[in-house]
Amino acid sequence: MTVTVRFAPSPTGYIHIGNARTALFNWLFAEKHGGRFVQRFDDTDVARSKQEYVDGILADLEWLGIRPDRVEYQSRRFAAYDAAIEKLKAEGLLYPCYETPEELELRRKIRLSRRLPPVYGREALKLTDAEKKALEAEGRKPHWRFLLPNFAKSPFETERTEIHWDDVVRGRETVDLASLSDPVLVRADGTYLYTPTSVVDDIDMGITHVIRGDDHVTNTGVQIALFRALGSEPPAFGHHNLLTAASGEGLSKRSGALSIRGLREAGLEPMAVASLAVLIGTSESVSAMRSMEELAAHFDPAATSRSASKFDPDELKVLNRALLHEMEFGDVRERLAALGIESAKAEPFWLAVRGNLDIFADVARWWRIVQDGPADKSGLPADDLEFVRSAFGLLPPEPWDGSTFRSWTDRVKETTGRKGRPLFAPLRLALTGLSSGPELADLMPLMGREGILARRP
Ligand code: GLU
């Protein structure tokens, strides 16, 4: 059996960090088991699903390092759903109901007042053919409910019916089917709800592990019953905790909060985003993983907490910096070249500045400083002007290396009598225009004698 997982968003918005968590849990699970990853778009809601979001989600997954083995669209699979629905109807497992939402709400209240569980009482199952015809003659269209297997003899005498599964994240889980209403699978307008289409797809696509957010735990009880009603053994399930914004509010595709696209546009590294999306809310300590392989080695679905986890964008910045600070030149050579940074200086330049980057794009600013000097020379205090000018007069001849700065500033110290901050701060300001940054000893050989003299205030 080849492990086969799927990520099944509806393309009604761009995916956010919480969706990425689901996608990555699936991807890493497949990676660990030599499995396959199916990208499924739950796009049966044609009014809200958009091609723009399909493309956006695929691009976001690719950026994160997820390359689906197969892409499927529910909107192309109606024939399969129709066949399953007909089969259930023919077996009497799907029955027509005619209640309006108001009628259902009233009944729910009555049940609650009688201290009965507020589940659907299967009243529609008692309708005779003549009664159904009469309701249809009134213009009512039926919606269809799945008869849950939670009774022995009579559907009106339900019994505790436990459905169990060994959740790959949460461990042993139990849902009592007698505590649930028969779920509606087909709406009055003939459209299908997510439950049957998802189960039919999971069967047809050979899904072996359904890994998703823990908002689906109850659905899983129903879906397991539906797998069996359709003659299939259910797959394994895993439900991970959800991420919330720092305010504790849930993330939603529609609000665009913390979208992967937004994080990408903010210049963050995909492995910083992936590391946090996966490791937050687990017993693993959160740190930046350099590659998907490394992340897979730290990924243990069973180590995931049961409660929701707060996602803090500042933590993302910390991980991003940590990743950049350790990145080897070989890993960024092409990205630097794309910014026009490709001379023999590129490698020493990268090693000099990487420790000062918040996001990769910051290299462009440092490259400008190294090549052209500070954008603005006016920042040097008047009392330092003479000092800096005499220091520039003491620049040693080339060739320069990593020790040149030391020998230069030793001479400046002897000659001017300045030391410590009053010596170094004005030199840094004159060379870079900034009060902090990479080691000047590393920058100096990159700037060169001529380059530095051009910075003379
Ligand atoms: N489209 C469903 C959702 O986004 C899929 C849930 C599942 O993975 O089964 O919630």
pLDDT at 351: 98
Q: Is the CB of 432 under 6 A from ligand 1?
A: no
Atom of ligand 1 at shortest distance to CA of 211?
Answer: 8
Amino acid at 49: S
Whether the CB-CB separation of 370 and 362 falls below 8 Å is answered with no
CA of 334 to the centre of ligand 1 (A): 37
- Show me where the domains of the chain are located: 82-179, 329-372, 382-453
Whether residue 253 has pLDDT greater than 90: no
Question: Whose C-alpha lies nearest to ligand 1, atom 6?
Answer: 8
Question: Whose C-alpha lies nearest to ligand 1, atom 5?
Answer: 8
What mean pLDDT is reported for the chain?
Answer: 95
Q: Is the CB of 10 under 6 A from ligand 1?
A: yes
Question: Whose C-alpha lies nearest to ligand 1, atom 1?
Answer: 9
Whether residue 248 has pLDDT greater than 90: no
Q: Is the CB of 356 under 6 A from ligand 1?
A: no
Whether residue 254 has pLDDT greater than 70: no
Question: pLDDT band at 374, cuts 50/70/90?
Answer: confident
Average pLDDT over residues 366-395: 89
Question: pLDDT band at 398, cuts 50/70/90?
Answer: very high
Q: Which two tokens stand for residue 436?
A: 């902090």
3-state helix, strand, coil in the chain (%, to 5): 50, 15, 35
Alpha carbons 280 and 309: distance in angstroms, whole number: 7
Tokens 């920058």 -> residue: 443
Question: Whose C-alpha lies nearest to ligand 1, atom 10?
Answer: 9
Q: What is the pLDDT of residues 104-134, one digit of tens each?
A: 999 999 999 999 889 999 999 999 999 999 9
**Domain 82-179 in CATH: superfamily?**
Glutamyl-tRNA Synthetase; Domain 3 (3.90.800.10)
Q: Is the CB of 8 under 6 A from ligand 1?
A: yes
φ, ψ for residue 400, nearest 5 deg: -110, 150
CA of 8 to the centre of ligand 1 (A): 5
- In percent, how much of the chain has pLDDT > 90? 88
pLDDT at 379: 78
Got the DSSP string for 232-262?
A: ----EEEEEPPEE-TTSPBP-TTTTTTBHHH
CA of 132 to the centre of ligand 1 (A): 34
Predicted TM-score (pTM) of the model is 0.92
Whether residue 378 has pLDDT greater than 80: no
Q: Is the CB of 198 under 6 A from ligand 1?
A: yes
Question: pLDDT band at 438, cuts 50/70/90?
Answer: very high
Got the DSSP string for 306-356?
A: SS-EE--HHHHHHHHHHHHHH--HHHHHHHHHHTT--STTHHHHHHHHGGG
Q: What is the pLDDT of residues 164-220, one digit of tens each?
A: 999 999 999 999 999 999 999 999 999 999 999 999 999 999 999 999 999 999 999
DSSP 150: -
CA of 38 to the centre of ligand 1 (A): 13
Atom of ligand 1 at shortest distance to CA of 198?
Answer: 9
Name the strand (E) or helix (H) holding 146.
strand 143-146
Closest CA to 48 of 252, 260, 257: 252
Whether residue 327 has pLDDT greater than 90: yes
Q: Is the CB of 452 under 6 A from ligand 1?
A: no
Q: In the CATH scheme, what is the code of domain 382-453?
A: 1.10.10.350
CATH topology identical between 82-179 and 382-453: no
Dihedral, 165, 121, 151, 231 alpha carbons, nearest 10: -60
